[in-house]
């Protein structure tokens, strides 16, 4: 994704990993592969890998710079973390932090970290390993977590402390969220919370109990960091298709449908957490259904 400019705000993508990933039927059990094949003309080459049939996916953060602040949206998987449930993420090593520096952002420069939700691939770089301890990666940042999302994972970790957390979380709340809280850098926020008169949080729960989309209005244009309310652009066309990681299936479908219907033919740049390059796009009407247009 080329850097995007919205007035005096810039948005860049910081990639941790990208390429052919899950098979469609694994990530999106609701997916009808015949339907997917029929849509290959607009899904290829960016979002569907013809040779393997896999979905092309990305794990990335967004680096947002305003005249006042440097903001990170979602922080990927992170380095050195114990993630036995997902082999490619177990003790991962990537130059994510070096690449952030190469963009002109030192860890000390980050003012805010905003997590759309607290799944394992959205909180990793909240912390890093220093002398055997997990410490906040960004010493001067405030980290904004939705209060309901935080409460859910706090209870889940408490209920299964020896199981490495619930589901595929592999204890990410313990190593990537609690140290931020312990350092006094976490701020628990609610829907509608705003920042700089430019960003505000929009309730999009369903994929997770307190999932938020982060909306932005700047330079006469709107954008939305939509997190995991869609994992793949095909879900703009079939919002009833859930991912296997959706917490509340019915709420997740309803939230996605409302989001897609509400953005069709609106000039809002959609910036999802896992859409591969070129990543940014709009939702456009396409007969009875919508489509994602890069």
> Which residues, including other chains, have CB under 8 Å from residue 122's CB and lie 6 or more apart?
74, 75, 76, 115, 116, 227, 228, 273
Residue 65 or 207 with smaller CB distance to Zn ion: 207
DSSP state of 9: E
State the nearest-atom distance from the C-beta of 139 to Zn ion, in Å: 25
Among residues 9 and 120, whose Cβ is nearest to Zn ion? 120
**Per-residue contact track with Zn ion, 217 to 256, x per CB under 5 A?**
-----------x----------------------------
Say how far apart CA 232 and CA 76 lie, in whole Å: 16
Span near Zn ion by CB under 5 A; candidates 45-53, 82-90, 98-106, 120-128: 120-128
Q: Taking the CB of residue 155, how many other CB atoms lie within 10 A of it?
A: 11
In this chain, which stretch among 16-24, 42-50, 115-123, 167-175 interacts with Zn ion, using CB under 5 A? 115-123
Closest CB 122 distance from Zn ion, rounded Å: 6
d(CA 67, CA 71): 11
C-beta closer to Zn ion: residue 69 or 207: 207
Tell me the closest approach of the beta carbon of residue 150 to Zn ion, in angstroms: 17
Answer whether 89's CB lies under 8 Å from 120's CB: yes
Print the SS3 string covering 21-48: CCCHHHHCCCCCHHHHHHCHHHHCCCCE
Q: Least distance in Å: CB of 162 to Zn ion?
A: 25
As measured in angstroms, the least distance from the Cβ of 105 to Zn ion is: 22
Judged by beta carbon, residue 105 or residue 273, the one nearer Zn ion is 273
Whole-number Å distance between alpha carbons of 92 and 82 = 9
Nearest approach, Cβ of residue 284 and Zn ion (Å): 24
**Interface of this chain with Zn ion, residues 134 to 193, rule: CB under 5 A:** none
Residue 121 in contact with Zn ion, rule: CB under 5 A: yes
Q: Cα–Cα distance between 29 and 242 in angstroms, integer?
A: 7
CB atoms within 10 A of CB 220: 8
Stretch that binds Zn ion, among 28-36, 101-109, 113-121, 124-132 (CB under 5 A): 113-121
How far apart CA 76 and CA 58 sit, in angstroms, is 10
Cβ proximity to Zn ion: between 6 and 150 the closer is: 150
Instruction: Report the interface residues with Zn ion, using CB under 5 A.
Output: 121, 228
């Amino acid at each position: 994704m080329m850097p995007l400019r919205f007035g005096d705000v810039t948005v860049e993508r910081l990639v941790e990993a990208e390429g052919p990933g899950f098979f469609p039927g694994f990530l999106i059990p609701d997916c009808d592969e015949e339907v997917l094949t029929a849509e290959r003309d607009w899904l290829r080459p960016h979002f569907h890998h013809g040779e393997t049939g896999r979905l092309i996916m990305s794990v990335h953060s967004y680096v947002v710079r305003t005249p006042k602040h440097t903001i990170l949206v979602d922080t990927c998987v992170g380095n050195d973390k114990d993630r036995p449930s997902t082999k490619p993420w177990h003790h991962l090593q990537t130059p994510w932090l070096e690449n952030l520096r190469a963009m002109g952002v030192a860890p000390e420069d980050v003012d805010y970290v905003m997590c759309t939700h607290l799944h394992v691939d959205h909180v990793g770089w909240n912390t890093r390993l220093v002398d055997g301890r997990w410490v906040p990666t960004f010493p001067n940042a405030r980290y904004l977590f939705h209060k309901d999302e935080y409460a859910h994972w706090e209870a889940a970790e408490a209920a299964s402390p020896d199981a490495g957390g619930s589901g595929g979380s592999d204890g990410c709340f313990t190593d990537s969220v609690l140290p931020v809280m312990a350092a006094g850098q976490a701020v628990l926020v609610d829907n509608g919370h705003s920042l700089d008169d430019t960003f505000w949080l929009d309730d999009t729960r369903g994929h997770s109990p307190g999932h938020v989309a982060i909306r932005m209005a700047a330079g006469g244009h709107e954008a939305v960091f939509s997190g995991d309310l869609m994992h793949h652009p095909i879900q703009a066309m079939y919002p009833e298709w859930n991912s296997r990681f959706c917490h509340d299936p019915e709420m997740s479908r309803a939230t996605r449908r409302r989001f897609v219907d509400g953005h069709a033919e609106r000039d809002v740049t959609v910036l999802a957490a896992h859409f591969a390059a070129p990543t940014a796009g709009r939702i456009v009407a396409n007969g009875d259904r919508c489509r994602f247009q890069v």
